[in-house]
Amino acid sequence: MDEFELIGRYFAHMGAARADVDLGVGDDAALLRVPESTDLVAAVDTIVEGRHFPAGAAARSIGHRALAVNLSDIAAMGAEPAWATLALTLPRADKEWLDGFARGFGDLACAHGVALVGGDTTAGPLTISVQILGHVPRGSALTRGGAKAGDVLAVTGTLGDAGAGLALATGALEMRDPAAARELLQRFEYPTPRVEFGIAARGIASAAMDISDGLVGDLPKLAAACGLGATVEVERLPMSRALHAAGDEEKTRAWALGAGDDYELLIAVPPERFSELATRAGQLNLTLTAIGALHRGNALKWTLHGAEFTPSVQGFDHFRRASTQITV
Ligand code: ADP
Ligand code: MG
């Protein structure tokens, strides 16, 4: 299989067929019709073997995650995803691997109505970059800034599951409960980007971001963008039953605070609109849990049952000394 056979076979018609794609895969660049009165929303994320997923991870999971992490950024903006490009660096053109990768990427793309409109294919260490493009009614995007003192901090879904799932995937964790283990592994391998919720939060949330590097690492970014401080009541962090089966309180709390990869959304919302937003989440079969509040100043405070609490974990940072080693 040469490069062009590979592109034709796997990537020429991947994802949803969209009427707003005037020219997709096959030319020098794609031509896309951006709806009137919208802002184009663009994001790119790369995943690297040995950094973001363990060597030998299932190809379908890699395809799914490569797109999911990008859809999560679109979700955090309250935008509607539309198009994607894929820069794929592969050690070899292995048919079985490509079949799995294409299935993972393609199924998620179809589920969100995303068309793959271009890319680049090269040989080298396994690295996948996806650029996602979407749109949002002009001026209505959710950003990390914009919240006011007194706004409630809330998160979608449950935290920490993917962290435990990664530990299961690397053999660092073993569990007796196979159903719970499967659920946690699934949360790492096949994360669900909260796209519909992001759209539903437009006009209600005052700030949003996706939690990709862990709450401890990501909350300071949102607070700083708002020019505010924050308090989190750690006992309120939503955790799944499956996570509770994975370890004691200290361990599960560390995953919920520090692990990335859940791709839940961190939201700020004026207190009087919290229940409206929680109702919208409920309509999407998603929980929205208040975990704290933003306040004047720049202090970040963590409490556990009213007492001051110092998280024992840090958020993920590629260039911090401890994390420049292979993490998975
Ligand atoms: P060029 O040299 O002009 O960049 P390429 O030979 O790299 O073109 O790619 C040919 C066509 O195939 C282009 O339209 C490009 O967007 C598309 N393409 C290449 N690799 C991929 C991929 N992995 N996924 C989707 N489209 C791809
Ligand atoms: Mg090219």
Pocket test for ligand 1, best of 1, 5, 6, 7 (most atoms within 8 A of CB): 7
Residues 132 and 161 placed together within one structural domain of the fold: no
121 Cα to the center of ligand 2, angstroms: 7
Ligand 1 atom 11: residue of nearest CA: 26
Top mutation candidate among 98, 105, 120 for ligand 1, by most atoms within 8 Å of CB:
120
CATH number at residue 277: 3.90.650.10
Per-residue pLDDT band for 168 (boundaries 50, 70, 90) equals: very high
In this prediction, residues 303-314 reach a mean pLDDT of: 90
pLDDT range class, residue 325, cuts 50, 70, 90: very low
**pLDDT tens digits for range 21-76:** 999 999 999 999 999 999 999 999 999 999 889 899 999 999 999 999 999 999 99
Q: Are 256 and 273 in contact (CB under 8 A)?
A: no
Q: Model confidence at 2, in pLDDT bands (50, 70, 90)? A: confident
Q: Which of 183, 205, 210 lies closest to 75, judged by CA?
A: 210
pLDDT of the residue at 274: 98
85: containing domain:
3-137
Check: CB of residue 308 under 8 Å from CB of residue 301.
yes
Q: Which ligand is nearest to the CA of 89?
A: 1
Give pLDDT, residue 320: 65
C-alpha–C-alpha distance, residues 91 and 185, integer Å:
26
Nearest ligand, measured from the Cα of 25: 1
Specify the CATH number for the domain of residue 19: 3.30.1330.10
Distance 150 CA to ligand 1 centre (A): 49
Q: Which residues line ligand 1 (CB under 6 A)?
A: 7, 11, 25-28, 86, 88, 116, 118-121
290 and 165, same domain (yes or no): yes
Q: Which atom of ligand 1 is nearest to the CA of 24?
A: 14
The arithmetic mean of pLDDT across residues 129-147, rounded, is 97
Checking if the pLDDT of 3 tops 90, the result is no
Q: What is the mean pLDDT of the chain?
A: 94
- Whole-model pTM: value is 0.94
Residue 118 clears pLDDT 50, i.e. is over it: yes
Domain end marker among 137, 165, 194: 137
Are residues 268 and 226 in contact, defined by beta-carbon separation less than 8 angstroms? yes
